[in-house]
Amino acid sequence: MENNLQFRRPSFTLFLVVVILVSLLSGALIGYTVSTLTLSENITDMQDQVSRLQEQLSNTQSTSSTGGQSNTYLIGENASLAPLYEEVKEAIVIIRGLTLDYDNFRRTYYSQVQGSGFVYNFNGQTVIITNYHVVEDTINITVTFINGNGYEATVLGSDPYADLAVLSTDASESDYSALEIVDSATLQVGDPVIAVGNPYGLAGSMTTGIISALGRTITEEMSGDYPIANVIQMSAPINSGNSGGPLLNYQGQVVGITTAIVSDSQGLGFAIPSSTVLREIESLITEGSYDQHSWLGASGTGMTYEIAEEMGVDVTYGWLIAQVTSGGPADEAGIQGGTKQVAVAGEYVVIGGDIIIALDGTRIKGIDDLSTFLEANTSPGQTIDVTIMRDGEAMKLQLTLGTRPTAT
């Protein structure tokens, strides 16, 4: 019996040892496999990141080597605007001038006005572009570059209806660094933009934002209360002194000229679109003015639901004609003005006139649409189809546009 017991103990022990060894080997194998898979995934992710960076670098180098194009200053998912600023800062100028004022005793005194501008090369001629209201009724105009060099400047041409002015100066060629202007027609709401100017005299200040809206209409005193059409609304912060400075895209190209802010607003600014600049620049330089703003010869207000209820009509959009200028284009086309004044939603409105709902088949929701269509698509002397609502019925009239009277 003892012999049998002594023989079986070694056999059982050997079995336990084998089981333990197999377990250890299995665990090691599983751990190695998991570690290898994890490492492989990490390596794959790193390879993907390297490939993306190489592609971005290749695109950047390709853009840099293409003549006449500017770089988009992007690094991965982040934007670096420092190189862009270095590229454009020398083209930005401070514009100063003096205006004559009177005190309460009718004694004269001079006040200094200040704004921004930028250098542009038009067919080999170097000029400075700014807002009309920056240089309106000013004397002793000067421009100062970011390097501190200052020069006298004169107004080559201006257009109050677009708030544009073009200056010339005898600055040396070493001071000039011109910006490129591209058509703003390609802009979309949400596009990032950059404003560079001199708020409160703080030279070369940069702010960023986005395009908040397009096709806005603003009215300024110097435009004789005529609308400045097709204006860009943006969120880039601007202040007094920014007027006339460039609004740039992320390629460093000019897409607008900062012009106005709404008092006490938060990030509500406006810019003249570059499409307007490109359309007018030759005339401003060679003729000293621009006289191709189309004119309807009528005044009115945008339709609302409340006005439609008061008038008893179904259409809640369009431009309601309040008054027609005698002998003007609208009068000649047979468009009718309002008949009575009523209070609607706390405001007095002249109702009873025709409602313009379309121009050449383009839907007109209000003054923004109407002004933008006329500015971007028409010229004086052109005949357009005007669709109106009169007594609840749609009518189509032909209207030959006039030239907007000279601003005074």
- ∠ CA 162-125-251, nearest 5°, is 65
Asked if domains 87-175 and 187-278 share a fold, the reply is yes
Mention every residue, 6+ apart, whose C-beta is less than 8 A from residue 110.
98, 99, 100, 101
Answer yes or no: 326 catalytic: no
From the centroid of its chain, how far is CA 400?
31
Quick one: pLDDT at residue 62?
A: 43
State the catalytic residue, choosing from 70, 116, 133, 184.
133
Q: Which of 116, 243, 275, 371 is catalytic?
A: 243
Question: Which residue is associated with the tokens 């179904």?
Answer: 314
CA distances from residue 327 to 173, 297, 333, 334, 354 in whole angstroms, order as listed: 51, 8, 10, 10, 17
Backbone φ, ψ for residue 20 (5° rounding):
-65, -45
CATH 2.40.10.10 assigned to 87-175: yes
CATH topology of domain 187-278: Thrombin, subunit H (2.40.10)
Token output for 69: 């194009």
The pLDDT of residue 175 is 84
CB-count burial class (<10 Å; 0-12, 13-18, 19+) for 195: buried
CATH code that applies to domain 294-403: 2.30.42.10
- pLDDT per residue as tens digits for the range 315-325: 999 999 999 99
Q: Where in the chain are the domains?
A: 1-46, 87-175, 187-278, 294-403
Query: Which two tokens mark 119?
Result: 């250098």
pLDDT at residue number 270: 94
293 is catalytic: no
Locate all alpha helices (DSSP H) within 65-101, ordered by sequence. 82-88
Which residue is catalytic, options 70, 116, 159, 163?
163
Q: Output the CA torsion 278→283→284→290 (10° steps).
A: -100
Cβ neighbours of residue 372 closer than 8 Å, sequence gap 6 or more: 215, 217, 229, 230
Q: For every one of its 408 residues, what pLDDT tens digit does the chain have, with 9 covering 90 and above?
A: 334 433 334 454 555 544 455 555 555 555 555 455 454 555 556 556 546 545 544 444 444 444 444 455 554 455 578 999 999 999 999 999 999 888 888 888 888 999 999 999 999 999 999 999 999 999 999 999 999 999 999 999 999 999 999 999 998 888 889 999 999 999 999 999 999 999 988 888 999 999 999 999 988 765 666 889 999 999 999 888 899 999 999 999 999 999 988 777 777 899 999 999 999 999 999 999 999 999 999 999 999 999 999 999 999 999 999 999 999 999 999 999 999 999 998 899 999 999 999 999 999 999 999 999 999 999 999 999 999 999 989 999 999 999 998 765
